[in-house]
Structure 1
Amino acid sequence: MAQTGRGPGSDARGGLFLIAPPAIYALLLLAVPLALLALYSVWTDGYLEIVREFTWANYIETWTNPLYRSVLIRSLVVALLVTLATVVLAFPVAYFVSFHVKPQRKATWLFLITIPFWTSYLIRVFLWKVILGYNGVMNAGLMKLGVISEPLTFLLYNTNAIVITLAHAYAPFAILPIFVALERIDRSLLEAGQDLGESKFATFRRVTLPLAMPGVVGAVLIVFIPTIGDYVTPQLVGGPEGRMVANLIQLQYLRLDNYPLGSAIAISAMGVVAILSAVLLLATRRYTRVRA
């Protein structure tokens, strides 16, 4: 009797048919724009037009111009500060929800953590602008309590405001992957460590933290990569001294009409982010191997 089952070739064709639409979607919306960006970056800027002549001048200008280089360095520093603040604050929250909240209430806590997503990102930035402003909520509260005699001027329109605003905006993105990693830890491993005489801190350092490291790395990447390219927050709360690389790219594209230089700055920023992300992944892998 002949078999009617499908062979491996048929399964492969079915799999390709399923992944074809998202693959084409990703190719059109991700690969093609990136390819055009890379192409623009090696062309020459002309007066109100792009001259299709190959040149490295845009990249040389990006890395030798002190203004562009300082903005890129500032963007990296701000992104690192935001990532550090966000992950350090997110880990205790995720740890508390995972280890100290009853299982039937964890969904409620996660629901509360995602409440900031209910409002527009732009509205949240404006709210922090109101809170940190010269006549804002924080200055008014401190003056009413007698802590200060006049409003503080360093709360808004600087790097501090950018770090605070972005750390609040990306906090849920850091809490959720860390929480998932903590939930996957076998509790019997922690009990075994304490049965062998380890203190709670030693058990956390030698067992919990290494096992939760994939979630921590995920949180770092989720926060760091979009933060360095954020445009709205530096524009609204950063002031002239808080402009980041995305604002510089916007200036080249929309104000100066210099697409090649703007593309070179964008490609350079993406390259730096890719290198730092790869270094982080390699360092984390080595850390987990040593702990194992």
Structure 2
Amino acid sequence: MAVGKLLLGTIEKSKLQFEEYKPDRMSSMLLVPIIVENRLSAFISFMVNKNQYWATSIVKMLLTVTSMLGRVLEGKQEEERLSEIEERYRIICENISALIYEIGENGNILYISPSVTRITGFCAQELIEKCFFDLVYFEDRPKLVTTLLKTKNNKQSSEVIFRIKHKNGEWCWLEGSTKLYRTIEEELHWVFVTRDITDQRRLENEIIELNKNELLTIVSKKIANEINNILGILVEEITDLKRDFPGESLVYAKLIKTEKALERAEELTEQLRTLTKKKGPTKEVVFV
């Protein structure tokens, strides 16, 4: 009667295992190799208690069995590798700061990285199969569609900057790139790799506003000085004209009225100059 045992390693090692395992009266052994991914992985050993000629049909049958076993082991190893890759990919995606989208030809979101929660407040599960463009700020949609069509035509990645909705109703600025790829089923998918630049945009707007206020102050001060110089000249001219007309004349009365109007204009100009000298609330721009 033949007895089967799995012997791992080389033929030499298998012989040693056979010597340790061999029961009394076992005198013949057949080693059948198990090949996994074109490499020798193990043997199955068959032993009998007398010298025996192993028929070709039996050897072929055993080789068929070990070949099937090898394919099963290959599948198992492939599953383990895929599981390892999937776990590594999951860890990377959970810790990456970039926001990654994948959308189909109909615009629906097929994949979105876990960082979406930190940036937009939405959970990934809330957005899968939702229309991507419904989340994009309406003014940015036409330019984004044009960019996608561009990648479809030239098959190269393109830079994108657009706003996307936050769960609280505000808008987040994203900057990155998108690229088109074709699936095995010949479907077109776009992948976006973006980063959150909302704070950067807010800082830029604050700097622009500060510069705008500073420029307005400088221009206002310059205008006030110019007006004040003109008013001073007019007041001097009216003072000289008053000497040429008697106090009871109509012209003199009109000169007095004009002089008072100029004095009022000088007061208003001085108020404008004083206003430009006052410092408003100081905004400190902090770079982090």
TM-score by length of 2: 0.20
Name the structure, 1 or 2, with higher relative contact order (CA <8 Å, separation 6+).
1
TM-score, normalisation: structure 1 = 0.20
Higher normalized helix content (fraction of residues): 1
Higher strand share: 2
